[in-house]
Structure 1
């Protein structure tokens, strides 16, 4: 029996296990990490690898059977679910995310009969054209059919506790679709909607980002001071134009002096700041997103949909849900990782900058048992250190980009930490997933 007085990260077993059953996919979504650089080769979890995970099942609270690829492509998915159901606690949740294109009523019944508790369908827009633009090869007809199949399967199998919902990647082009997707979920009997911001893996996707790059507490102080300055006829967004004499500006010296006072105040408060990002802060977009989230929350509550929204921008008080909730991630090859961000190697454009990310593995289940890897001094020390959040806010540093985060072989950050988490978008609250 789990002792809930012990924090999940300190327990001698993972409480949540994310198992990547395949990296293959039948769609080519532009916002997927598979489209990053050289990409991630297609592979499938072997029965041998899965069997090596079973000894860790009796203490699990959650088992998520997906990673980068489409889990319904794996012919052994039901076998894995059935095996897990026989070995996890009775109240443990088994689920996965799918693009829905392969989900027929027959397959849905098979999945629910095997013991699936939750399924999330990727739905980024209700409009067919917008949906197609986000998910190459996908159609709204596919997700409509998938939702209907799950509803009928729930009735046929008598699995009254089964829940399904959707996940939406929020982009500038499709953000107005959020209320429509809430209505879509509610109308078809879904119970939840998980919303995440887009992480640009290609440079052209940077313009699709909706969230503000500035840390929430820093931005709150800047917005307050900018509004006060505006009442005096001083426009802080002209700071660089005034400072570097890039064009004619009235009250040049006052603009410079006012902005530099604000910068000093933020520094005295011990908050990180990226001055160019503050100066270029898009107040109109920020307020529009704020309004969208507020109205969407009200709509979801009225429709009975459990809505999980991301932060409006990076949060100062970081939290790694993966570490805090005692999670372990297993790749198709059997390597064990601490989180989603470090599951694969890729390149992204976080905060508009090129950011190479290297996968971090603590071993393979083909070399030693999963529980031995989890309890290894290296993995245990890593979790404890992450839990203190000692790393800098790389995305809100005026010195960035720097050699510490631009190099592929990460050695340490500017504070001497050997943790690669300074710019992790999950701990900053802008990305989230089914967990």
Structure 2
């Protein structure tokens, strides 16, 4: 890719113009998780990205800090995963993924380490087997924990700190009380980081009834998460947590200004939640209200050069919404620092996000 393109658009920004690209290698998954948007769509075709197609993405990855080989499927099922990890590393990007961990073996762990994998997250939806297994159907927590322990043992044997392992824990009403158990579990496993997340795409009544975040603070849940944070600090574990109530987010945590998502079919989208693997229009429930959403995409990287997609006028308009919001937030921050101007904040509001994002929990800071 010509450097002049990036120099023109990203002058003075971080060392690489993109923070993270999320690439879906497969839509196949052995689990039937209750929080997945594919609930009710299990008959949909399963597909792997071919190595030939992945190689069409490769030249652009030298401009990306981190590549997350993950979408709506289980990356460990991809037959060329190890080869793909090596290819990404050769382009100078950090590489990893989040996994259910159910298909790991000692040989597979050894290959992942030797390929140079930088990070792996393990998805948990409970710290007790009964809870986790009932939510992540076809998973079995004791087996998953055994795989994590074996992974750590093999790393010790090979005298390597990579890949760095972390836990990704989905917060639900059914499992939030197990946070203290989770933290002790992480300590026992030698894992130093836990990332707590919410469901971002809610598409049925069960999911809607399980969310612990709301427009008004729930003191009970906030207290549980706060106490978990204190416990984690005491055990020298980093606990990253989301807000439980809305907050102004000029740019959501998916950050479409520096990040993007590529589906198994090569479609480029601002984020994974705007292109789920279900037939359009897909259902999104937002604070109890139902929305029928079309998938968002701005071009196919298997068919077009990436700069052509990135400079697509519709894609630029999409990102401009966030640029305007960020500029306004900076203006508001400046006013907050000036006591004489604070009264004028009453008339300030952030510009609207893109239409597909207005009914997304991410834009509310969740």
Q: Report the TM-score, using the length of structure 2 for normalisation.
A: 0.83
* Counterpart check, 1:23 vs 2:27: yes
Which residue does the alignment assign to 2:172?
A: 171
Q: Is the 8 A contact 2:321 2:354 kept in 1?
A: no
Which residue does the alignment assign to 1:196?
A: 197
SS in 2 for 1:194: strand
Q: Distance in 1 between matches of 2:287 and 2:153?
A: 43
* Counterpart check, 1:301 vs 2:305: no
Deviation at 1:12, TM superposition (A): 9.2
> Quick one: structure 1 residues 417 and 63, their matched pair in 2 at CA, closer, same or farther if it must change by over 3 Å?
closer
Which residue does the alignment assign to 1:337?
A: 269
Q: Distance in 2 between matches of 1:165 and 1:12?
A: 25
> Quick one: structure 1 residues 131 and 21, their matched pair in 2 at CA, closer, same or farther if it must change by over 3 Å?
same
Deviation at 1:135, TM superposition (A): 0.8
Which residue does the alignment assign to 2:184?
A: 183
> Quick one: structure 1 residues 306 and 324, their matched pair in 2 at CA, closer, same or farther if it must change by over 3 Å?
farther
Deviation at 1:119, TM superposition (A): 0.4
Deviation at 1:325, TM superposition (A): 5.6
SS in 1 for 2:170: strand
Unaligned runs of 5+ in 1: 220-282, 391-414, 431-435
Q: Is the 8 A contact 2:267 2:301 kept in 1?
A: yes
1:64 to 63, 68, 85: 68
1:311 to 225, 243, 264: 243
> Quick one: structure 1 residues 303 and 426, their matched pair in 2 at CA, closer, same or farther if it must change by over 3 Å?
same
Question: Highest Rg: 1 or 2?
Answer: 1
Which residue does the alignment assign to 1:103?
A: 104
Which residue does the alignment assign to 1:374?
A: 310
Deviation at 1:383, TM superposition (A): 1.3
Q: Which moved more, 1:125-134 or 1:311-320?
A: 311-320
* Counterpart check, 1:426 vs 2:358: no
Q: Is the 8 A contact 2:23 2:262 kept in 1?
A: yes
Report 1:193-272 matches (<5 A).
Answer: 193-198=194-199, 199-212=201-214, 214=215, 219=216
Q: Is the 8 A contact 1:186 1:305 kept in 2?
A: yes
Q: Distance in 1 between matches of 2:204 and 2:74?
A: 21
RMSD value over aligned CA atoms? 2.5
* Counterpart check, 1:385 vs 2:321: yes
Deviation at 1:26, TM superposition (A): 0.2
Deviation at 1:334, TM superposition (A): 0.6
Q: Deviations over 1:201-236 (max 9, x none)?
A: 212332211111x2xxxx5xxxxxxxxxxxxxxxxx
Q: Distance in 2 between matches of 1:417 and 1:287?
A: 29
Deviation at 1:157, TM superposition (A): 3.5
Which residue does the alignment assign to 2:289?
A: 353
Q: Is the 8 A contact 1:323 1:387 kept in 2?
A: no
Which residue does the alignment assign to 1:322?
A: 254
Q: Distance in 2 between matches of 1:354 and 1:83?
A: 42
Q: Report the TM-score, using the length of structure 1 for normalisation.
A: 0.71
Q: Deviations over 1:294-349 (max 9, x none)?
A: 11111111222221111112223443233366012100011111112212253132
SS in 1 for 2:161: coil
SS in 1 for 2:287: helix
